[in-house]
Amino acid sequence: MSAVLEARGVTRSFGPIRVLHGIDFALLPGEVHALIGENGAGKSTMMKILGGYLSPTEGELLLDGQPVRFADQRDAESAGILMIHQEFNLALQLTVEENLFLGREKRRGIFLDKAAMRDEARDLLARLDCHVNPRARIRDLSVPDRQMVEIARAIGRNARVLIMDEPTAVLTGRETDVLLGQIERLRAQGTAILYTSHKLDEIARIADRVTVLRDGSHITTRPAKGFTEHGMAEAMVGRELSDLFPPKPVAGDDIVLEVESLTVPGKVRDASFSLRRGEVLGFAGLVGSGRTELMEAIVGLRPATGAVRVNGKPLAAGSVLAARKAGLVYLTEDRKEKGLLLGKSLTENLTLLALDRFGTLTIDKRAEDKALTRAISDFDIRVKDRGMTAGSLSGGNQQKLLLAKTMLAEPQIVIIDEPTRGIDIGTKQQIYDFIAALAAQGKSVIVVSSELAEVIGLADRVIVMGRGHIAGELTGDAITEDAILRRAMGVGELTGASA
């Protein structure tokens, strides 16, 4: 079968820096082709070139065997190549159907044919098994729903080639199933799908062929069959991988954090738990179960009732600064919108949380500079230039910068929400090691994660949340995927939750 879209010897440089080295790559109709690699391996650049967002510095693209140059992304779109981004391309103030037909509105005479558009929108969403109201505004939708709308938009444009940049990073397990089902349908219809994800199990499940990039070079392209997850990880990292999770630390006896009957109106009901010194406590649950809201309420980011005590002392409500001063910090799951100032320098980001440590009247810039040097080496942040903005770091390095920023406040208790979202396996391992090291130093860590493997691998005690309340607690060998899921879905109470 001949390729629908092909890259030959594609090289791309940004200024003096070359990020892709002569990549050859072919996408066949009716295949799911996974593109994997660590952060910074060149996946995004490759996808942007294929999607018409960037042009290759050298080499050429072939569409149906004919050389082609896309002037821009719209040019690629009219050739049937659509890219779905991690950061969505949706107009927040418009409705679902308005977004689906944005730029290709149906008309009757000079007026919009709203009825026809609504019918087609409904049809598109139904094909995706997505139950959002076509008239809802995007800003009122949850992130997974927005993802579905984005996919519906691409399908509505009759994509021949669909480029999906980590489509499942924000989806729950069930939503992922729906999406993968849809991808299979598209494949059966002959659509070529380029797919990236850091979730290797997903790739093993859905992909026909796998291409691995490392440091901007093409490493291998192989059929997915017989390519194990471990094999993929090693091809990405370029070395042998030892055990992903470090040994679990042993928690002390004294209690450093007590949360009592915390209630966040509409989100969390009556949550109570405690945390010991040197403990890694896992928080599991489905998206929307109130985990993030509970954590935000604990550090004073959300209005709540109930009590929070740090080392036995009550914490003033509603003040992030008071929490920080008591040694309690929260690392957000949303590093792009809530964690980092993407347009600002690394230094300004690094010291923002603990700025008062750098002088009260004026900021000691030399000390800031030293702190950056230390953070770069302690957290292994790969920077090309110390003056670069936080937004131009890769996702994994942004996460490390966020960790460095948080640790600069010298906390005793660290709450980390989704510590490895959208991060490659090598960086993941570094972050896991770091969490274990924190606990070994006698600090206490709460890990909130949607990745069950992560919670199970890191924590020696796991609290499961479901629909806004604490649905169960598991310790030691009782922490299994099955046990967590049953509690999270509310079917596990009968079989004896210990909380």
Cα–Cα distance, 192 to 36 (Å, whole number): 17
CB of 430 to another protein, least distance (A): 17
List the x/- string, 157-176, binding to another protein by CB under 8 A: --------xx----------
- The SS3 call for residue 379 is coil
Assess 457 for contact with another protein (CB under 8 A).
no
Least Å distance, CB 164 to another protein, is 12
Tell me how far, at minimum, the Cβ of 463 lies from another protein, in Å: 23
Tell me, what amino acid is at 392?
S
Q: Which of residues 247-306 bind another protein (CB under 8 A)?
A: 301
Indicate which single residue of 55, 86, 172, 217 sits in contact with another protein (rule: CB under 8 A).
86
**Beta pairing class for 209-214 and 268-276:** unpaired
Q: Which of 125, 434, 456 is nearest to 281 (CA)?
A: 456
Q: Which residues contact 352 (CB under 8 A, 6 or more apart)?
A: 341, 405
Residue 392 as a binder of another protein (CB under 8 A): the answer is yes
Q: Which stretch binds another protein (CB under 8 A): 98-106, 124-132, 243-251, 317-325?
A: 317-325
Q: How far is the CB of 189 from another protein (least distance, A)?
A: 27
Cβ proximity of 306 and 263 under 8 Å: yes
Beta-strand pair 217-223/209-214: antiparallel
Candidates 133, 217, 311, 389; binder of another protein (CB under 8 A) is 389
Question: How many angstroms separate the Cα of 307 from the Cα of each of 261, 410, 416, 444, 448?
Answer: 7, 23, 21, 19, 20
- Nearest residue (CB) to another protein, 86 versus 221: 86
Q: Which of 95, 99, 182, 332 binds another protein (CB under 8 A)?
A: 332
User: Does residue 411 touch another protein according to CB under 8 A?
Assistant: no
Using alpha carbons, select from 442, 441, 452, 444 the residue that is nearest to residue 474: 452
Question: Which residue is it, tokens 């709308």?
Answer: 149
Helix axes 425-440, 229-237, angle to 10 degrees: 90
Buried b (16+ CB within 10 A) or exposed e, 455-490: bbbbbbbbbbbbebbbbbbbeeeebeeebbbbbbbe
DSSP state of 230: H
Distance of closest approach, residue 334 Cβ to another protein, in angstroms: 8
Q: Which stretch binds another protein (CB under 8 A): 172-180, 252-260, 283-291, 331-339?
A: 331-339
How far is CA 228 from its chain centroid?
A: 23
Report the residue number, 360 or 377, with the smaller CB distance to another protein: 360
Q: Which two tokens stand for residue 250?
A: 């042993």
Rounded to 10°, the helix 395-407/425-440 angle is 10
- Give yes or no for residue 237 binding another protein (CB under 8 A): no
- Using CB under 8 A as the binding criterion, the count of chain residues that bind another protein stands at 57
Between 99 and 397, name the residue whose CB sits nearer to another protein: 397
Q: CB of residue 417 vs another protein: minimum separation in angstroms? A: 11
Q: Which stretch binds another protein (CB under 8 A): 42-50, 370-378, 426-434, 438-446?
A: 42-50
CA separation for the pair 106, 413 (Å, rounded): 55
Residue 42 as a binder of another protein (CB under 8 A): the answer is yes
Interface residue with another protein, options 3, 8, 19, 263 (CB under 8 A):
19
Half-sphere exposure of 347 (CA within 13 A, CB side): 15
Is beta strand 413-417 parallel, antiparallel or unpaired with respect to 444-448?
Answer: parallel
Of 65, 223, 265, 391, which lies in the binding site for another protein, with binding defined by CB under 8 A? 391
Range 22-41, binding another protein (CB under 8 A): 37, 39-41
Binding part of the chain for another protein, among 177-185, 356-364, 437-445, 469-477 by CB under 8 A, reads: 356-364
* 384 near another protein, rule: CB under 8 A: yes
Residues contributing to the site for another protein (CB under 8 A)? 14-17, 19, 37, 39-45, 48, 86, 165-166, 196, 301, 320-321, 323-324, 330, 332, 337-344, 348, 352-353, 355-356, 359-363, 365, 384-385, 388-389, 391-395, 398, 405, 409, 422
